[in-house]
Structure 1
Amino acid sequence: MKLDSTAPASQPHAGPWYTHLYVQVLIAIAIGAALGHFYPSAGEAMKPLGDAFIKLVKMVIAPVIFMTVVTGIAGMRDLKRFGRVALKTFGYFLFFSTLALIIGLIIGEIIRPGDGMGVDPATLDPAKVASYTAKAHDSTITGFLMNIIPDTVGSAFAGGDILQVLFFSVVFGIALAQIGERGEPFLKVLESLSRGFFRMVTILMKVAPIGAFGAFAFTIGKYGIGSVVNLAELVATFYITALCFVLIVLGAVGKACGFSIFKLIRYLRAELLLVLGTSSSESALPSLIEKMEKAGCEKSIVGLVVPTGYSFNLDGTNIYMTLASLFIAQATGIHLTLGQELLLLAVAMLSSKGAAGVTGAGFITLAATLSVVPTIPVAGMALILGVDRFMSECRSLTNFIGNAVATIVVSRWEKALDHEKLDLALNGAQD
């Protein structure tokens, strides 16, 4: 299926600099930060603007995933190939998720940002993180797997659960592929509808600067830049580690696959600024799907890798989990043996899947991990509660870039990547 050729609002275009979406979002973030810093109460009052924009985007996520996945799988027809793509996708996710956890653990041991704080665990207030630990206890592996299956088809779409929508879409896409030509009329309807929904995404992206302004003004107004200063070493360590992971690890992956990570970041700059402003990678999910297709990735692979990656390919979240765990241990004077660190690594790998798709998953997965590793006090999470919002932005950005890279890599493995389109997109020919 070929989407409407008109460039989406998230796509850079010719014209005055101030008409580019990424410029508008950047300006909105700067104004929001200034408002939140100098007038905190006014900044906090802007929260509904950010919430409203995220709700607008979430409104179209479920149908966009459904139509992209169903038309992709049904168009593929070869179900053996679909199984092969799924196996490669999850293999990629498992490898890089584990690598991200290990990197967070290594950097935490080298830099040791929590050393010298001398916090007495007895003085920590567990009530501050009680709501997160309660959600973490609900995020078991069994519960997670059961939750993938929706109660009804309608509940999956009504609840907006990405994994439930993805599960139904995959099963329905396989069913359409199996009935062949008899499913063609419905497939054509879905293809027409998808054009309408992607046009809707274009319209919604026009108000993205307003949403980014409101969300960032609220973050600065409520938490203040001063809260970062108190834990500056932890925040700086996390940002630098995530940046190194993107530029060095994912950069090496990109080079091996024939593309530049810097050019990919430039291509996705509008979406990345939107993720930064809203602290939510979901706000740019529909645009990522469209841009990956425009960059030459096969529709069927985009439809599988991107939505699945939003729950299983959380590189930024994984780096955060092991780094934050070590920070809490160091701050409270707890020495971890190699065996305890390996246990932490194993539990983090499992819990990161158990809470996938949950709002605030980074903090909740951390709570789930610490609740299983008794050596580190769960109440220690109160130490980083004030800066978690600022670190969530970095988590979301890293996760987003990781999923874009995964989409290109899996497409290349399947020989389903149009290298000419990719070069044109990354070199700015579509700007």
Structure 2
Amino acid sequence: MGRLKKKKNHKHEKKGVCHVVAVDMGYGHERPANALKDISYKGEIWVANNYKGIPKKDKKMWTQGRELYEAISRLKPIPILGHYIFEAMDRMQQIPPFYPQRDLSKPTFQLKQQDRFIQKGLGKDLVERLSENPLPLVCTFPLPAFAAEMHGYPGDIYLVCTDSDISRSWVNTNPAKSRIKYFAPTGRVVERLQMYGIKRSNILHTGFPMAKSLIGGADSKIIRKDMRRRLINLDPYRRFFDRYYTTLEQKFGKAFCRQEQPKSPTVAFAVGGAGAQRALGINIAKSLKNHIIKKKINLILVAGARREVASYFNRELKKLKLDKHVEVLFEKERRAYFRKFDERLRDVDILWTKPSELSFYTGLGIPIIMSPTVGSQEDYNRLWLQQVGGGILQHDEKHTHEWLFDWIDSGALARMAWNGFIEAPTHGIYRIEDAMLGRDSELPPHPMIV
């Protein structure tokens, strides 16, 4: 796959062009898969570790792995013990330093062990089911893609990388002979994959796939509309607008720069799929309590699809007498959660979360306040967010009522929203769709650095 050629806009309404496979370990692999539902066969998302008819032995292996990951992720905040247990797990999937550039194609012990499980039949049942209609196969987690290749899936196999940098676990034990093609969200992932032994012709620099409902086509109609509202709310004294007026007018026209009365900003705090950092959300609510009651700011606590996290939020908010003032976003079904999250995100002005796959959402013109990282990949996502200028590390959440309003009043968060929009990729879903249809994209190529 060579460099994308610019072309006139074409429709992005084709459905049923591929099979999409994810896993439900956290949200990082399932969220991009759900963004791809518009082009998946019958709108289906296959969850490799949890589908109807999955063999019991497969289910057992997957379940043990997921439960271990989630349990250790929740242990991390525990002083000393939790830190050391998490560090031991994280070391197995750590991303090595990029420099000096070198050959990193040698497989890890964990990859060799994973190969043995696949050789014994892990994933074979799913591959056989999908082979009955061998459309291109798009995976958002490495193991199903490796299984498809090892078990002879007859169609093309693609793998969507879901972080700004990746570990060796994303490439199988024999990269030189692998026919898996990669969708890279950043230029760094393009380079990293080559260090791991993947041929450049098997890598397409697409950006991270986000739902079409958040973007609005190749010309970003929805992004522009939502970002204008955010910039107004995040720049009450027009310090950002005054400084960047000429740039904004040239980019979007005078109507975009028209002065309007800002509304109270909306902050969404999102916990990860393992439910870690839930206490942080309540600390934020405590600090902002008076401002929330006075309607100077709105708060959404995103519990995702974890009932115990939603129950915790509701219980603690009731103690604070904020249960009538703070929204708790919870859906018992994961796909319903992703859909609801995308709907509510359009009204969100600030996203507060650990630097997970949600880091890429700064491209929608949303500033990201970063909570502490959980895992090596999030350390790299944090660096990437800082590099593009779309995110910043949180200060002490107990003093949110002070520093957050300083950032709003100064126009700093408006500037981050603008930086994210300008620098971060947003149209991954459209580039992936074009690749599935075998056509050139009308979108310009990404710069390699981001």
TM-score scaled by length of structure 1? 0.28
The structure with the greater share of residues assigned to helix is 1
Q: Pick 1 or 2: higher relative contact order, CA cutoff 8 A, min separation 6.
A: 1
The structure with the greater share of residues assigned to strand is 2
